[in-house]
Amino acid sequence: MGRFGVGVSAVEPLNFRTNMVELSDHMLADTWANTENPVRQAYGDRYYEAQRSSSGIGREVALKLSSLGANVVITGLEEDAIHEVVNTCQTLYKRKALGVFGDLTDDQFVKILVDKTIAEFSKIDILVNNAGILMYSGIENPEYMNIFDRIIRVNVRAMQVLTQLLVPYLVASNGCIVNTSSVNANKPQMCERSFSGIGREVALKLSSLGADVVITGLEEDGIHEVVNKCQTLYKRRAIGIFGDITDDQFVKSLVDKTIAEFNTIDILVNNAGICIKAGIENPDYMNTFDRNIRVNVRAMQVLTQLSVPYLVASNGCIVNTSSVNAYKPVLS
């Protein structure tokens, strides 16, 4: 992506006021100074749902880059706020500014956004990924998964789609990417399968301690091997349920079968996970990204929400395993 990039770890975008400008002036100025192209453009993308749309990180970054001589593109869901930023850039800093209204969770809109930017400016030097929402919900809320999915689409997936589409232009311009992130982005979680590796050993250990266990996964032979060991070696009840935990209907049937067999759940071990790698220039990148999110992040949310009533009734607990990679999140 070129020799220069900036990662900004900031406060929650939705609760942000304007003091980031003072903190990040040197970062943005250095980014701009080290962009070698004579004609410079920048994305200042904004996405707000629970914040005053005339304030925030996206607005301040766009204005700062405009003040440094950049031509900017502003996008978001509030047209009045977009026009305000565009007008400020044009009148106060005498720079070109383009406002594009739309929803960054819509892949077709993101493509249109990129096409309009290239049509207007011919190139891109800086991409600022700054879309974000903050929504709260207890896991027992029936709307929990809808809220979770919305947050993932806005805060995580949207920047992946936009970044992938812009990579060819950023490579051509020796440009850079600025990613803003929440201070909450310190402890992401990943998982591993329950019939091999960590999951297998946890199941066998719990069985050896006297627990009845349920094993699930996509490899029937692996499931049967663990079930047989629990039954023969530790003389405990064990059932294996073959299926894909990214399928919400299967997860529901998994919980239903567990309750039908054992009447209760005392411990939930969230341990499903995959590691599929793809460079962002790979045409299949977003399919790979979506698969990783469905398995490593979303599946445990669905299973946990469905299991919570039984865990509350049994005064049970949840064990979440995570990857060693979860200690050092990587920004693009």
- Does residue 126 sit in the same domain as residue 176? yes
Mean pLDDT value across residues 75-93: 92
Domain-located, residue 140: yes
Please provide residue 73's backbone torsions phi and psi, each rounded to the nearest 5 degrees: -120, 130
Give yes or no: residues 113 and 254 share one domain.
Answer: no
216 vs 327, more confident: 216
Query: Taking 80 as the threshold, does the pLDDT of residue 37 lie above it?
Result: no
Residues 24 and 82 in one domain: yes
Write out the two tokens for 107.
Answer: 């892949």
Based on the fold, state whether residues 212 and 295 are members of the same structural domain.
yes
Residues 210 and 285 reside in one and the same domain: yes
Q: What is the mean pLDDT of residues 232-243?
A: 94
Two tokens at 232? 């023969």
Could you tell me the CATH number of the domain that includes residue 89? Answer: 3.40.50.720
Domain contains 192: no
Cα 282 from Cα 168, distance rounded (Å):
11
Give the other-Cβ count within 10 Å of 119's Cβ. Answer: 9
Instruction: Please check whether residue 187 lies inside any domain of the structure.
Output: no
| CA 288 – CA 282 distance, rounded (Å) | 10
The string of DSSP codes covering 147-209 is HHHHHHIIIIIHHHHHHHHHHHHHHHTT-EEEEEE-TTTT-------SSSHHHHHHHHHHHHT
Question: What is the domain count for the chain?
Answer: 2
Residues 151 and 207 in one domain: no
Determine the structural domain holding residue 79 and report its residue range: 6-181
| 206 and 176 housed in the same domain | no
Angle, nearest 10°, between helix axes 299-314 and 248-262? 20
315 falls within a domain: yes
Residue 18 and residue 60 in contact, taking contact as beta carbons nearer than 8 Å: yes
The reported pLDDT for the residue numbered 73 is: 93
Tell me what the mean pLDDT of segment 200-222 comes to. 91
Handedness of CA 228, 230, 236, 238 (dihedral sign): negative
**Does the pLDDT value for residue 190 go beyond 50?**
no
Which residues face 97 on adjacent strands? 72
User: Backbone phi, then psi, for 177, in 5-degree steps?
Assistant: -120, 135
Token look-up 């766009």 returns: 62
**DSSP-assigned beta bridge partners for residue 317:** 267
User: Is beta strand 97-101 parallel, antiparallel or unpaired with respect to 126-129?
Assistant: unpaired
**Co-location of 233 and 89 in the same domain:** no
Residue 143 sits in the same domain as residue 202: no
One domain, residues 167 and 271: no
Q: Is residue 189 part of a domain?
A: no
pLDDT tier, 181 (very low <50, low <70, confident <90, very high otherwise)? confident
The SS3 call for residue 79 is helix
pLDDT for residue 108:
96
Looking at 113, 146, 181, the residue that finishes a domain is 181
Tell me, letter by letter, the H, E, C secondary structure of 208-236: HCCCCEEEEECCHHHHHHHHHHHHHHCCC
Q: Is residue 190 part of a domain?
A: no
Return left, alpha or beta for 2; rule: phi > 0 is left, psi -120 to 50 is alpha, else beta: left
Sequence-distant (6+) residues with CB within 8 A of 199 are 192, 193, 215, 217, 269, 271, 272, 321
Residue ending a domain, choose from 156, 181, 206: 181
Residue 162's contacts (CB-CB under 8 Å, 6 or more residues apart) are 43, 45, 104, 110, 113, 114, 127, 129
- The least confident of 89-93, 220-224, 320-324 is 320-324
Range among 19-23, 131-135, 285-289 with highest mean pLDDT value: 285-289
17 with 101, same domain?
Answer: yes
Average pLDDT over residues 265-282: 89
